[in-house]
Chains A and B, each alone.
Chain A
Amino acid sequence: MVSYIIRRLLMMVPVLIGMTLITFSIVHLIPGNPAQVILGETANQTAIENLEESMGLNEPYLNQYGLYVKDLLQGDLGTSLRSNAEISAEIWPYIAATFELTIFAMLFAVFIGVNAGIISAWKQNSWFDFLAMLFALIGVSIPVFWLALMEQWIFAQELGWFPAYGRQDNRDPMAPITYFYVLDSLIHLDFSRTGTILKHLVLPSIALGTIPMAIIARMTRSSMLEVMKSDYIRTVRAKGSGQFLIIYKHALKNAMIPVLTVIGLQAGVLLGGAILTETIFSWPGIGRYVFEAINYRDYPVIQSGILVVAFIFVIINLVVDILYKIIDPRINY
């Protein structure tokens, strides 16, 4: 097991190097000069040339890439062209914001999705099954931005139950520590603030978690149905166990393997693909960080942002693989 983890971690190195090469090539292949974009339409030629020089964009590509990798190996993610700030210092709040949102979205997705899937399988072909699967179908097909705007309209504007944007009440922001705001407010022992922060999480989590929830529900249901047909379940049933025990104790374990894969993949997708949700709910997450950088051709931020997301994705995959082993000891690596 340990050697497996080490092997996997080592395998990350070529993957990440490949990532840097690909992102570097892509961002430099898209047409557009960052100096020109930053200065906009009112810039004159001299201003653009001056800025290019100060950003080191007149160097050959190979030199630029070499410098980038060299800095990267020293743990330096580079400097943003647009804000002049160190990316390694700047990026953490964005990562934390996305992580917090992803965690809550996945909690929502997993809790509702798995349980809906189980009950659907348990009461196959019942009205609950029918309804749950209908909702799951709607859930996977619903456009996120539409769902998000509807949520805002109904729950923020009309009912006023939840705030429409942001992570906290910015009229009176708290001093961040870890940038996981829920955690920070607990550290500050400021529980009324925790409440506000949780409220801010509700709408975006639901918007972001709906698609994974639907996928997880469908996956759980089909996987459950398959396991329920297997011989050992018949044996358990013959022993006289109750239905609840059969499902949650015996069947779920085996049914979880494919579900777990889906959860892992979805978590990865949410980390990188939350741009729409982050934009509509003004959530300052990593998706928006990279998205804004693309608009401004902020090469270092695009590269490092994608690299960090890729890194997290690989880590999540690793965690999922380890979880397989824990859930099903028969799996050997």
Chain B
Amino acid sequence: MRLKYSLFIALLFAVLLVLAACTGDGGQKGEDTAENEDPAAEGDEGTEAEGAEGDQVLIFARGGDSESLDPASTTDGESSRITKQIYESLLEFDKDSFEIMPGLAHDWEVADDGLSYTFYLEEGVTFHDGTDFNAEAVKINFERWADPEHAYAFADDGYVYSMYGTMFGGFKGDENHVIEEINVVNDHEIEFILSQPLGFFLQNMAMTYFPITSPAALEEYGAAINENPVGTGPFKFVSWSKDDSIVLDKFEDYRKDGLPKLDRVVFEVIPDNAARLIALRSGEIDIMDGLNPDDAASVEAEEGLELYEREENNIGYVGFNVQKEPFDNKDLRHAVSHAIDKEAIANALYAGYATPASVPLPPSYMGYNDEVESLEYDPEKASELLAEAGYEEGLEIELWTMPVARPYMPDPETVSEIIQNNLEQIGITVTIVREEWAPYLEKTMNGDHQMYMLGWSGTNGDPDYFLSSLLHGDNVGSSNREFYANDEVDGLLNQAKLSIDQDERASFYQQAQEIIADDAPMVPLVHSRPVLATTNAVENYVPHPSTSESLAEVELVD
């Protein structure tokens, strides 16, 4: 009988081998890609010796895998977290804020009319593949994103640079596309000519989505560049095993002396929050992203673990459809705003790691208006306003609830229940509507809703990205799901976008926020502060509000 057992197992293995052969035959393409993986595999072996020498190996665990390691072709935060290590942009954000610092450009000049920007590039910088970084490389990268016909745009392979379109007003040939011309002055000087001023042009230049890829690598890997990233950053790409791990090794010729301090960084995917925390406690990983706010207190109290918070860089809100009954009535919107207990939501859901919001803009942002009169929690006033609005008898409304958790809204279901409860108090009956995520986004874009929940996260640290996207009349039916269009607000937002005087811009945004707060097209709920944890061994780690921080200065100590 034992023999039959082994026969069974032997047969199973035989089937496996057949299957392996089948998949191997899966056409030429399969083999091509296998070859493509080879350099990575070799690199892997090559670095094993190094890995043995240096013991500074850090494991960073997160909830999901990256989509693409070609930074501009994705909007996925899990991707830019990695590309931030491999690539560098012309400018950088400061470690813990969106303040602009030198990057690959050590200096820059802005023309008075805001129509030309000159960047002076670092000299003697090389890409991981050994080729030189220069102005030509910068030009190629920007043209690649702007022009779908460009040889390296890979449009036929499905590459779309949507973040570029959003940030620079479209693509080559589009009416509002701002980058008209890019001139290489010399190897280390490059000039951008704009068709119209863009108030946040410099902020854009510091975004993780727009760093410089080696042109030689674009030529070599073609559309496979998303799995073979080559930049100038502190770490170079070694291997990517999907849904498992991404391995990066120290780039020995990094332009900043003494950095990076780590020999190797491994980005690990651990989907389950509880399992990730167990792995951190057992010392298998060093940094865990996406800590459940409810676990924060126990992590803080635990010896051996360290709790970190990211600065607020998002807003979770409840929006009204202001072009549709019944929320075309401003008094009613005010009534609802006064009825919602933001403090309770912040405490119940974020374990206190959130700030109740009065405007959509996060507090650290330029132009944040802290004098805006918040429609604070006041059920009595809410009832009065409800009566004024003509709904003494109460009314029935629908509230659309997000089906997925987001950092700005970790538990949408509970939030909607709290709101349901709050509104019940003043006589509004709320029916909660549930939809799948994609149809939810689609239908709210079409305006099928009366009242809905959503949020927004910043990427370039500029107020425009929040205020214009969410509330500019031009974005109605797109990202403006309030269907809110106020000419005065639009005018202020346009002026702020076209101005390059940052103080002036700030004042425009402040004015806009006052009008918005009075019109109350949305109820800003909270700005959350996502929490994460590390072991005690991790030093110099500074979480960035954008969720992508450089690990160049991080080190492990005993």
B398 CB → nearest A CB, Å: 18
Q: Mark B1-37, 1 if CB is under 8 A from A, else 0.
A: 1001101110110011001100101110110111000
Q: A156, B282: Cβ atoms under 8 Å?
A: yes
A178 CB contacts on chain B under 8 angstroms:
20
Name the contact of A289 in the complex, choosing from B44, B165, B239, B243 (C-beta under 8 A): B243
Which residue on B lies nearest to A188, using beta carbons? B45
Among B137-157, those with CB < 8 Å from A are 155, 157
Q: Is A235 among interface residues, defined by CB-CB distance under 8 A?
A: no
A325 to B146: give the CA distance in the assembly, Å. Answer: 65
Q: Mark A140-154, 1 if CB is under 8 A from B, else 0.
A: 000000001100110
B-binding segment of A13-21, A45-53, A126-134, A217-225 = A45-53
A149 CB contacts on chain B under 8 angstroms:
274-275, 278
Q: A82, B67: Cβ atoms under 8 Å?
A: yes
Q: Given known contacts A32-B439, A171-B51, A323-B8, is B162 in contact with A47 (CB within 8 Å)?
A: yes
Name the contact of A88 in the complex, choosing from B27, B162, B437, B475 (C-beta under 8 A): B27
B-binding segment of A35-43, A58-66, A208-216, A226-234 = A35-43
A37 to B440: give the CA distance in the assembly, Å. Answer: 10
Q: Is A31 among interface residues, defined by CB-CB distance under 8 A?
A: yes
Q: B242, A93: Cβ atoms under 8 Å?
A: yes
Name the contact of B29 in the complex, choosing from A89, A180, A253, A288 (C-beta under 8 A): A89
A40 CB → nearest B CB, Å: 6
A123 CB → nearest B CB, Å: 19
Q: B438, A166: Cβ atoms under 8 Å?
A: no
Q: A51, B269: Cβ atoms under 8 Å?
A: no
Q: B270, A282: Cβ atoms under 8 Å?
A: yes
Among A135-185, those with CB < 8 Å from B are 148-149, 152-153, 156-157, 160, 163-167, 170-176, 178, 180
Q: Is B196 among interface residues, defined by CB-CB distance under 8 A?
A: no
Which residue on A lies nearest to B444, using beta carbons? A41
Q: Mark A252-282, 1 if CB is under 8 A from B, else 0.
A: 1100100000000000000000000001111
Among A43-85, those with CB < 8 Å from B are 43-47, 50-51, 54-55, 74-77, 79, 81-85
Q: A284, B244: Cβ atoms under 8 Å?
A: yes
Q: Which residue, of B244, B274, B284, has the highest number of chain A Cβ atoms within 10 A?
A: B244
Which residue on A lies nearest to B247, using beta carbons? A173
A279 to B264: give the CA distance in the assembly, Å. Answer: 25
Q: Given known contacts A43-B75, A152-B275, A284-B244, is B457 in contact with A170 (CB within 8 Å)?
A: no
Which residue on B lies nearest to A97, using beta carbons? B244
Q: A41, B438: Cβ atoms under 8 Å?
A: no
B223 CB contacts on chain A under 8 angstroms:
84
Q: Mark A286-311, 1 if CB is under 8 A from B, else 0.
A: 00110010000100000000000000
Q: B278, A75: Cβ atoms under 8 Å?
A: no
B9 CB contacts on chain A under 8 angstroms:
107
Q: Given known contacts A288-B271, A315-B15, is B478 in contact with A45 (CB within 8 Å)?
A: yes
Name the contact of B436 in the complex, choosing from A32, A40, A81, A86 (C-beta under 8 A): A32
Name the contact of B275 in the complex, choosing from A44, A93, A280 (C-beta under 8 A): A280
Q: Is A5 among interface residues, defined by CB-CB distance under 8 A?
A: no
Q: Which residue, of A41, A44, A103, A280, has the highest number of chain B Cβ atoms within 10 A?
A: A41
B4 CB contacts on chain A under 8 angstroms:
256, 326-327
Name the contact of A85 in the complex, choosing from B12, B23, B227, B270 (C-beta under 8 A): B227
Q: Is B550 among interface residues, defined by CB-CB distance under 8 A?
A: no
Q: A171, B59: Cβ atoms under 8 Å?
A: yes
Q: Given known contacts A51-B162, A166-B268, is B244 in contact with A297 (CB within 8 Å)?
A: no
Does more than half of chain A's interface fall in helix, strand or loop, or is it mixed?
A: helix
Q: Is B479 among interface residues, defined by CB-CB distance under 8 A?
A: yes
B160 CB contacts on chain A under 8 angstroms:
47, 50-51, 54
Q: Is B166 among interface residues, defined by CB-CB distance under 8 A?
A: yes
A35 CB → nearest B CB, Å: 9
Q: Mark B505-541, 1 if CB is under 8 A from A, else 0.
A: 0000000000000000000000000000000000000
A165 to B4: give the CA distance in the assembly, Å. Answer: 34
Q: Is A91 among interface residues, defined by CB-CB distance under 8 A?
A: yes
Q: A172, B162: Cβ atoms under 8 Å?
A: no
Q: Which residue, of A79, A89, A103, A322, has the highest number of chain B Cβ atoms within 10 A?
A: A89
A103 CB contacts on chain B under 8 angstroms:
12
Which residue on A lies nearest to B406, using beta carbons? A41
Q: B275, A84: Cβ atoms under 8 Å?
A: no
B439 CB contacts on chain A under 8 angstroms:
31-33
Q: A76, B27: Cβ atoms under 8 Å?
A: yes
Q: Given known contacts A45-B445, A45-B478, A153-B278, is B162 in contact with A75 (CB within 8 Å)?
A: no
What 9 pairs across the A-B complex have the smallest Cβ distances? A32-B438, A89-B33, A88-B26, A47-B162, A284-B243, A284-B244, A44-B478, A75-B27, A31-B439
Interfacial residues, chain A to chain B (CB-CB below 8 A): 30-34, 36-47, 50-51, 54-55, 74-77, 79, 81-86, 88-95, 99, 103, 107, 110, 148-149, 152-153, 156-157, 160, 163-167, 170-176, 178, 180, 248-249, 252-253, 256, 279-282, 284, 288-289, 292, 297, 312, 315-316, 319, 322-323, 326-327
Q: List 11 A-B contacts (CB under 8 A).
A: A31-B435, A42-B459, A43-B441, A50-B160, A89-B30, A89-B32, A172-B48, A284-B269, A315-B19, A316-B15, A323-B7
Interfacial residues, chain B to chain A (CB-CB below 8 A): 1, 4-5, 7-9, 11-12, 15-16, 19-20, 23, 25-27, 29-30, 32-34, 41-42, 44-45, 48, 51-52, 57, 59, 64-65, 67-68, 75, 155, 157-160, 162, 165-166, 170, 223, 226-227, 239, 241-245, 247, 264, 266, 268-272, 274-276, 278-279, 281-282, 284, 406, 435-439, 441-442, 445, 454-457, 459, 469, 475, 477-479
Other 13 A-B pairs with CB < 8 A, given A42-B456, A84-B68, A248-B1: A41-B456, A47-B160, A88-B27, A157-B282, A165-B276, A165-B279, A165-B284, A166-B244, A170-B266, A171-B59, A175-B42, A249-B1, A284-B244
